[in-house]
Amino acid sequence: MAALVSAVRDAEDGANFEIDMTAENGFNWNFYLKDFTLGVRQYVPKDDISSLPSAKVKLNRLYWFQKVFQAVTIYSIVKLALHQCT
């Protein structure tokens, strides 16, 4: 990060840009990332912000489906391996 800051400041018009993204300079990463992800969601797939709660519910369901699927898969592999040993 320091190399980027010094490279911009050393540039011809570097004094015109403030790129110090540290907390000491007042930059808040949590706020930035929240705004960034909302912006990406709104402008890349053109999703409406009002659909965010239903998307969170869907994401939560997919997360738990994945965890159950992983558990069943591991159980099946272990059971198959134990069956092959006996």
Q: pLDDT value at position 9?
A: 67
pLDDT in tens, 41-52: 888 888 788 888
Burial 17-44 (b: 16+ CB within 10 A, else e): eeeeeeeeeeeeeeeeeeeeeeeebeee
Residues 6+ apart with CB under 8 A from 15: 9
Contact 64, 58 (CB under 8 A): no
Instruction: Give the range among 43-47, 53-57, 58-62, 68-72 with minimum mean pLDDT.
Output: 43-47
Percent of residues, the chain, with pLDDT higher than 70 = 87
Q: pLDDT value at position 23?
A: 78
3-state helix, strand, coil in the chain (%, to 5): 80, 0, 20
pLDDT in tens, 2-42: 676 677 667 776 667 767 777 777 788 889 898 898 888 88
